[in-house]
Amino acid sequence: MRISIVQTKPLKGTIDQNLRSHVKFIEAAVNKNVDLIVFPELSLTGYEPELAQELATTASDSRLDVLQQLSDKHSISIWVGLPTRNNNQLFISMIIIQPNQNKITYSKQYLFPPEREIFTSGNNPLVFHFDNEHIVAPAICFELSNPEHHEYAAEQKATIYIASVLNSVTGVDADIEKLSAIAKKYKMTVFMANYVGQSGGYECAGRSSVWDQQGQLIAQLDGVTEGQLIYDTKTTNILSDPLFD
């Protein structure tokens, strides 16, 4: 299975422009026969909680049709971030797009304390069976700091744990240590997709990474450059230079 984690520099609150950037990364991943591509937390808007009321949408938003078309055509699963709305409630969500299937909305279950003033916690724990070998668990940022989240993934026999995050330069080292520990404790291959640049008032740290099942760092992007890191779980190789123009 080939997995890409994408490191982006978000444009504040501009879904259409961020979407165009996402398409470029997906097309590059398709050329490397990637099976799953994952973007950072709230990747299509940037991490902008104060804009969530204005920007929130649903998985049926027609602007996402281009991603579904790419998924169907190239048999690639695509995970992107959006604030979503259900009646009067707002959620930090991951839209999960799979080939020739209905979209799934996974909403952050464990909110960072300041987020609780704006967002509602999700209540839809899940893992994905990609084939006979790989069970993949999604995590959205602060969820990786909650033992209940990775314990659930382990109970479901997840072999891969993917964290879609906004991680700041002041917080990234702690989360890198946590993700390495998750990999080692549960014998999972663990990924982190993060931003570079600024978003939500944070200076984002980049350093998107992958760890093996012993918790050892396999590969990591830098702290300033947009790019994607592609990992082949069968060969355990990085397929190419992870940075794309």
CA 77 to chain centre: 12
Cα–Cα dist 1/235, whole Å? 9
Q: Is 82:44 a contact under the CB 8 Å cutoff?
A: yes
Average pLDDT of the segment spanning 200-223: 96
Q: Residue by residue, what is the 3-state secondary structure of 74-117?
A: HCCEEEEEEEEEECCEEEEEEEEECCCCCCEEEECCCCCHHHHH
Show the domains of the chain with their CATH numbers: 2-238 (3.60.110.10)
Token output for 174: 């702690």
Task: State yes or no: pLDDT of 240 exceeds 60.
Answer: no
Token output for 157: 């026999």
Average pLDDT of the segment spanning 102-113: 97
Task: State yes or no: pLDDT of 244 exceeds 50.
Answer: no
Between 130 and 194, name the one with better pLDDT: 194
Average pLDDT of the segment spanning 148-163: 97
Angle between helices 147-155 and 172-186 (to 10 degrees): 30
Task: State yes or no: pLDDT of 243 exceeds 60.
Answer: no
Task: State yes or no: pLDDT of 174 exceeds 70.
Answer: yes
pTM value is: 0.96
Residue spans of alpha helices (H) in the chain: 15-30, 52-55, 65-74, 147-155, 172-186
Between 245 and 5, name the one with better pLDDT: 5
Tell me the pLDDT tens digit for each residue of 43-57.
Answer: 999 999 999 999 999
Q: What pLDDT score was predicted for residue 132?
A: 82
Average pLDDT of the segment spanning 88-116: 97
Instruction: Calculate the average pLDDT of the chain.
Output: 95
Residue among 27, 121, 25 nearest 70 (CA):
27
